[in-house]
Structure 1
Amino acid sequence: MKSLCEKYAAKLAAQRLADPGEPLIGGLDAELAWNREDPRTAELAKVFDLLSINSLVFSRPAEPYAAIIDFLASRHPETIRPQDTETRTFLHDIPVCREFTGEAVAAHLKKRKSVIIPGQGIASFGTVTPEQGFVFYSSTIFSCFVLFFSEYLARARAGTLDDEYREVFASVSAGLSDPCTEPPALAAGPLETEDQALAAMAEAGRAVVGYGLVDSFFGNISCRLNDVVHISQTGSSLDELEGCIDPCPMDGSATTGLTASSELSAHEDVYRRSDYRCILHGHPKFSVIMSMDCARIDCPNRGQCHIKCTECRTMDGVPIVPGEVGTGPTGLCNTLPPAMARTGAALVHGHGVFTAGATDFNEAFIRLLDIENRSRQRYFETVKAHE
């Protein structure tokens, strides 16, 4: 268990979500073990006595995330309510706890997946593995980042910015890392055998995570070989896809789709409508932010934009479509494939970006990276135009 705690502490640092040496991750097996010694573990250990959990993740986020969550906690003193898909899927909302005690933290984690302790950090948990706490911690940072920048742009449009928000925004923006502009050299296609496809998928998945184009390790990836779609399993880590890819015949003649990504049907329909052979899906932050930006403040669908938006919106020509995760009447399986088949790329409102390639993952990755960089540029241009 301690090795797992150390693994996810290292992942938080590698993804620049926490400073090296900062995360505290505890795991309960035969006994409670922590990734490192720290006097705060005595208080955090109380959470294990109060909840049915086997792991706990706690850390002060790295900057600029720490400044973002502390600012949002000051504006939303009890509960932070982002509107992105990550929040709807995993978090629902994010409670704010005003005291660093095991009892107070446990009281909030009894109802939600994570809790923010202003000036201290974020606590989250797992009931099976520390990976769950890692995901909830990462999702909390992602959702707060999206909310912070989305709210600022909305206030700029409405003319309701105040000096404090302007000051924090300037500081946070200055602390953002420079965008990556050079794509990796991924395996060149055509991908003609299963072994080639699986190796290329694992390589592309690691690159998507390494470039920060996902929240934690979420997203999905697929490759079509004849009439079989090889797709990442639901909940799998894009940077650890070996053994976590399902071959799914498009005629439904196998049950492998039961463990496949919930977006399998959307991938299949893209392939049916086009000559693409590879699909990448990531959650790059500014792409998600811009997918939620809309100048129509009087729209009757406000609050349900992710399923009811009827506007024909684009981000620099890339279509933005509504749609929930998975299938059903409002599922992105209905809205995404037509847009993808036309352009090879689409943004899903509040969710992320899907891109496609004709022969390998190079084209899809270049599109994904370019959309995120253009979204970031367009965001700051739009803010400047309205400040």
Structure 2
Amino acid sequence: MWKRFRKFGTKLVRSGLTHSHFGNISIRLDDSMFITKTGVMLDELDEKSIVKVDIEGNSETETIASIEAPVHRAIYKNTPSLAVIHSHSPHAIVLSLISEEEIVLNGMESYCFLPKIPIVTGEAGSEELAKNVAQGLQDNKGVIAKGHGTFAVGESLEKAYVNICLIEHACQVKYLLDLMK
């Protein structure tokens, strides 16, 4: 399992979607989630980098899980998602800082896959952020936490990664288009 986490952690860093120490990855398996530990480098994950946490309640491993574990937990409790990726994608963050409630996108990919991306608020790892992200993901493949980064979901890590890529690409196109105006 950790090798799949490492594959997508490495892809996130190499593609510029986040930096090594920023972001987290999880998958749901029955009543638990496996999530990256706090402070691990996404492009150097190993079997000790992932921790199992109960979705319904506190686990002994909660203190070493990513600070965003409450957000991942809320997503799993409120959506049918089986995988979550959180990245600190630069164009998505910039657009979230200059936009209000959502980003309306341009371009073929956006028209087909995600014409808008909700912007949600809340401090990193907070219950407010968990509630707002989970609510935004009920009808969307991804959301952007204002000034913080993107949360994308899928039935697998592959699908969540595709959605993270789509969001950042769409935000980059919008950013560049807005520069031309």
Fold match by TM threshold 0.5: yes
Q: Give the Å deviation of 1:363.
A: 1.1
Q: What is the CA-CA distance between 1:315 and the residue it aligns to?
A: 4.1
- State the shift of 1:369 in Å: 1.1
Q: Equivalent residue for 2:80?
A: 275
Q: Distance in 2 between matches of 1:347 and 1:225?
A: 25
2:65 corresponds to which residue? 260
Aligned to 1:379: 175
1:324 to 123, 144, 158: 123
User: What amino acid does structure 2 have at the position aligned with 1:239?
Assistant: D
- Give the secondary-structure state (helix, strand or coil) at the position aligned to 2:43: coil
* Shift in Å, 1:199: 2.4
**1:213 aligned to 2:25?**
no
Are the equivalent residues in 2 in contact too, given 1:286–1:375 (CA < 8 A)?
yes
The CA deviation string for residues 184-233 of structure 1, in whole angstroms up to 9 with x for no partner, is: xxxxxxxxxxxxx3321121111111111103431000000001110011
Q: Residue 247 in 1 paired to residue 52 in 2?
A: yes
**Where does residue 351 of structure 1 map in the other structure?**
148
CA distance in 2, matches of 1:217, 1:236: 6
Q: Distance in 2 between matches of 1:357 and 1:314?
A: 20
Structure 2 distance, partners of 1:254, 1:350, is: 29
Q: Give the corresponding residue for 1:370.
A: 166
Following the alignment from structure 1 to structure 2, what is the Cα–Cα distance between the partners of residues 240 and 324? 26
How far 1:384 sits from its partner (Å)? 1.4
Name the SS for the 1:343 alignment partner.
coil
CA distance in 2, matches of 1:254, 1:217: 23
- Give the letter for the 1:314 counterpart: I
Alignment partner for residue 137 of structure 2, among 310, 331, 340? 340
* Aligned-partner residue type, residue 141 of structure 2: G
Separation in structure 1 between the aligned mates of residue 59 and residue 7 of structure 2, nearest angstrom: 26
Cα deviation 1:99-147 (Å, max 9, x = unaligned): xxxxxxxxxxxxxxxxxxxxxxxxxxxxxxxxxxxxxxxxxxxxxxxxx
Distance 1:323 1:253, change over 3 A: closer
* Structure 1 residue 273 displacement after superposition: 1.0
Gaps of 5+ in 2: 106-115
Instruction: Return the index of the structure with the highest Cα Rg.
Output: 1
C-alpha deviation, 1:383, in angstroms = 1.8
| Residue matched to 1:82 | none
* Aligned pairs (5 A) from 1:152-301: 197-242=1-46, 243-252=48-57, 254-294=59-99
- Higher relative contact order, structure no. (Cα contacts within 8 Å, ≥ 6 residues apart): 2
Q: Helix, strand or coil for the counterpart of 2:139?
A: helix
Supply the distance in 2 between the matched residues of 1:253 and 1:268 (Cα, whole angstroms): 10
Give 1:275 deviation, angstroms.
Answer: 1.2
Aligned length in residues: 170
**Partner Cα separation in structure 2 for residue 253 and residue 381 of structure 1:** 45
Letter of the 2:138 partner, please give it: A
Q: From the two aligned structures, give the one with the greater strand fraction.
A: 2
Contact 1:321 1:335 in 2 (8 A): yes
CA separation in 2, counterparts of 1:254 and 1:289? 35
Output the CA distance in 2 between the equivalents of 1:217 and 1:207.
14
8 Å CA contact retained: 1:322, 1:335? yes
Deviation digits for residues 16-63 of structure 1, max 9, x if unmatched?
xxxxxxxxxxxxxxxxxxxxxxxxxxxxxxxxxxxxxxxxxxxxxxxx
**What secondary structure is seen at the aligned counterpart in 2 of 1:291?**
helix
For 1:312, the equivalent position in structure 2 comes to 101
Partners of 1:209 and 1:217 within 8 A in 2: no
| CA distance in 2: counterparts of 1:225 and 1:255, whole angstroms | 18
